[in-house]
Amino acid sequence: MKKFSIFFLALAVVMVAFTAGCQSTKVDIGIVLPTKDEPRWVQDEARFTAALADTDYSVEILFSQGSTATELSNVETLISKGITVLIICAQDGDAAGAAVEKAKAEGITVIAYDRLITNTEAVDYYVTFDSVAVGEAQGQYLVDHATGAGNPLYLYSGAATDNNAFLFFEGAWNVLQPKIADGTFVIKNSAEAVGLQANATLTRTQQSSIIGQITTNWDFNTALSLAQSNLTATTAADKGDVFILAPNDGTARAIADAFAADTDVTSYYVTGQDAEIASVQYIIDGKQSMTVFKDVRTLVADAIAMAVTVLEGGTPTTTGSYDNGSIDVPAKQTAVVVVDQANVRAALIDSGYYAETEFTFPA
């Protein structure tokens, strides 16, 4: 009998301790980011951590490491910790639907961060940069630096699982297509794009057929080997002074390295986006032509402001909406800034975004 009551007493102590433990791990805002393997998302994590340093709400950030399965289990972990708001940048826009539907079923408010989650009703809000404008800025940069006719053009895109890859390509096509149609540029690495070059606008299916040939999958190694095989498949006459649409900084550096190593390439212009530190150095060194600076501080501030509004029982303000294939998702959109050698210091260092000590400037 005595042994029995000691057992129950011990059990009660363990249960109290366990409950207290559970309460102390309660999280208000859960954040899921796609991968630590790209500087872009490590940057977002750092900016989130800085912005949340003095919030009263508890926050947990998890990375999906390029895996939809990990993304789902991250969301499940955060649901079990009692989150009220989920801020999620999807690994795969369609596949993430299953994860956010689980969150939604628990009454959690879902904010898609940077990448839209597609073909589901379980997205409440979307905070994003103007991704069509990103692609337009990339295309415009190439147009502004091309003279005469017949300039070789090499096209590369992001991952087909990322809705943004379509928006970036759409923006670039808006600007490049008239200059392909008038002979300023000649596409060298996509038969699908050549076949569609008379079309001022493309359907999603047409975009997919081109992206299928030019995708980097947002992966540096894929970008490098695709650029190398494009350069092997083309002749010296397809090279010389070349123009390259690269979708982001990581892939731009890989593609630039491939083109720089080809002796038939006399000069190249290559685009990028994200203002990653390594690409800012490439711009300073003349190895990458431009980047599209997306001030992550603004995106983070918008996402947190939305989350806090929800936690305090309010309704976030939005500035427009995005059709995700199922619903129009109310969205808050941020503008982007073009950076090249001419304004790199003003835009990224004088603005306080990066410390000067991160870079080596020519003496």
Selected from 27, 71, 72, 115, the binder of ligand BGC by CB under 6 A is 115
Closest separation in Å from C-beta 256 to ligand BGC: 15
Scanning 2-10, 20-28, 158-166, 333-341 for contacts with ligand BGC by CB under 6 A, the matching segment is 158-166
As a residue count, the chain comes to: 363
Collapse the DSSP code of 331 into the 3-class scheme (helix H, G, I; strand E, B; otherwise coil) and give the result: strand
Angle between helices 249-260 and 39-51 (to 10 degrees): 150
Selected from 126, 156, 218, 243, the binder of ligand BGC by CB under 6 A is 218
Residue nearest to ligand BGC (CB): 248
Q: Does 71 bind ligand BGC (CB under 6 A)?
A: no
- Cβ-proximal residues to 266 (8 Å cutoff; 6+ apart), any chain: 239, 240, 241
Scanning 4-12, 20-28, 156-164, 253-261 for contacts with ligand BGC by CB under 6 A, the matching segment is 156-164
Q: Does 118 bind ligand BGC (CB under 6 A)?
A: no
Q: Which is nearer to ligand BGC, 118 or 164 (CB)?
A: 164
Scanning 22-30, 55-63, 157-165, 192-200 for contacts with ligand BGC by CB under 6 A, the matching segment is 157-165
Closest separation in Å from C-beta 5 to ligand BGC: 59
Inter-residue contact 154 to 242 (CB < 8 Å): yes
What does the block give as tokens for 324?
Answer: 């995700």
| Per-position x/- string for 167-206, each x denoting binding to ligand BGC as judged by CB under 6 A, each - no binding | ----------------------------------------
**Cα–Cα distance between 249 and 38 in angstroms, integer?**
10
Q: Which is nearer to ligand BGC, 151 or 164 (CB)?
A: 164
**Cα–Cα distance between 189 and 116 in angstroms, integer?**
28
**Cα–Cα distance between 289 and 242 in angstroms, integer?**
12
Bridge partner residues of 125 (DSSP) = 111
Residue 347 is given by DSSP the state I
Closest separation in Å from C-beta 266 to ligand BGC: 29
Q: Does 248 bind ligand BGC (CB under 6 A)?
A: yes
Q: Which is nearer to ligand BGC, 31 or 231 (CB)?
A: 31
The kind and range of the H/E element at 220 are helix 220-233
Selected from 40, 188, 239, 253, the binder of ligand BGC by CB under 6 A is 40
Closest separation in Å from C-beta 92 to ligand BGC: 11
Closest separation in Å from C-beta 39 to ligand BGC: 9
- Cβ-proximal residues to 3 (8 Å cutoff; 6+ apart), any chain: none
**Cα–Cα distance between 275 and 338 in angstroms, integer?**
9
Selected from 136, 162, 219, 262, the binder of ligand BGC by CB under 6 A is 162
Other CB atoms closer than 10 Å to residue 103's CB: what's the count? 24
What does the block give as tokens for 336?
Answer: 């982007």
What does the block give as tokens for 317?
Answer: 């303000």
Closest separation in Å from C-beta 162 to ligand BGC: 5
Report how far apart, in Å, the C-alpha atoms of 30 and of each of 81, 303, 356 are.
9, 12, 33
At 1, which amino acid appears?
M
Closest separation in Å from C-beta 54 to ligand BGC: 27
| Per-position x/- string for 253-292, each x denoting binding to ligand BGC as judged by CB under 6 A, each - no binding | --------------------xx------------------
Q: How open is the CA angle 216-257-171, to the nearest 5 degrees?
A: 45
- Give the binding site for ligand BGC (CB under 6 A): 38, 40, 114-115, 158, 162, 164, 218, 248, 273-274
